[in-house]
Structure 1
Amino acid sequence: MPALKWGLIGASDIAATRVIAAIRASGGETIGVFSGSADRAADFAAGNGLPDYTTDLDALLDWEIDAVYISSTNALHFEQAIRALKAGKHVLCEKPLALEAVQAEAWWSWPRPWVSCWPQTTTCQEALCTPKSANSSRPEPSAPSCPPKSPTPCSFPRGCADGGSAWAHPAAA
């Protein structure tokens, strides 16, 4: 299997200190970075040994990459993730994926097979959203809108969105 080729959306500290190393350690390759600032993008690429950089998101999405890692300004995550999916890229997005309920609902209304989140988030969410029984040490739900298996914001999707990065496959976009 060929190594995944990645593009970075956001010249962030976490990308520089954690993500690039993780990509390389897994046998992947980071092709370049997108930033709204040409100077920041150029400095980031040079400082991290990346072959390319751009200030044009469409240009990055046209590169021969398989996936993007999004760690830009929080308010841009949703739009950038959608654009990357529509361009046929896999998406690994830092939290928050969405800032508004409408965005979160749009994201989670798509078919589920292509979305994956950290397993510990699911476990924690199940524990928090399951009522305490006489034989259990689990807490009662912290909010009345948190019944088990409900489509409320406290159910799995919100827990997933609030608990870490989300991984998305472009097939459902």
Structure 2
Amino acid sequence: MQQEIDNLLGPDEQLTLSHRDLMPMSCAIIQEVMRCRTLVPFGVPHCTSEDVDFRQYRLPKNTLVSGNLWAVHNNPEVWDKPHEFNPYRHLDEDGKFVASPHVIPFGVGLRRCLGERIAKIEIFFFLVSLFRYFNVLPDPTAKKLPEIDKGLQMIVFSPHTYKVVLQKRLPA
């Protein structure tokens, strides 16, 4: 990601949204992070507004329903080795970014998060800027890093606390 950023952005060039289409690896890494670390694994609960027949089930009006976003993000029928971090799965054979309909951290349908578009833009600007100007390193005083898939799982997945060091770097 840093190499892509360095190759595209000069030291004085302003990062803009138009750069996103020119940064397939950065977009693939961001999408893979959202797939691997589903922050709200069961999404936001909703209620049925009328009686619904779903497969062999009858859901009466006002039934609380939640989608299992974690299951979608870890479905082995969709993802080869779903528990491995692999941003290359989001690039086509020409190295172009492919947005996946199976990465749905903001939900799906009419009730998906209204802030999805702005959140994705903010995530892009934040992470590209972070990796443009800093190397993110583990805290040298830490005896070991926490396991990435361990944390506190409730409504929101929260990883265990850890420290990092931001080492200033000069853009290429």
TM-score interval (norm. to shorter) = under 0.3
Q: Which has the higher contact order (CA 8 A, sep 6+)?
A: 2
Query: What TM-score, normalized to structure 2?
Result: 0.23
Query: What TM-score, normalized to structure 1?
Result: 0.23
Which has the greater radius of gyration? 2
If each structure's helix is expressed as a fraction of its own residues, which one has the higher value?
Answer: 1
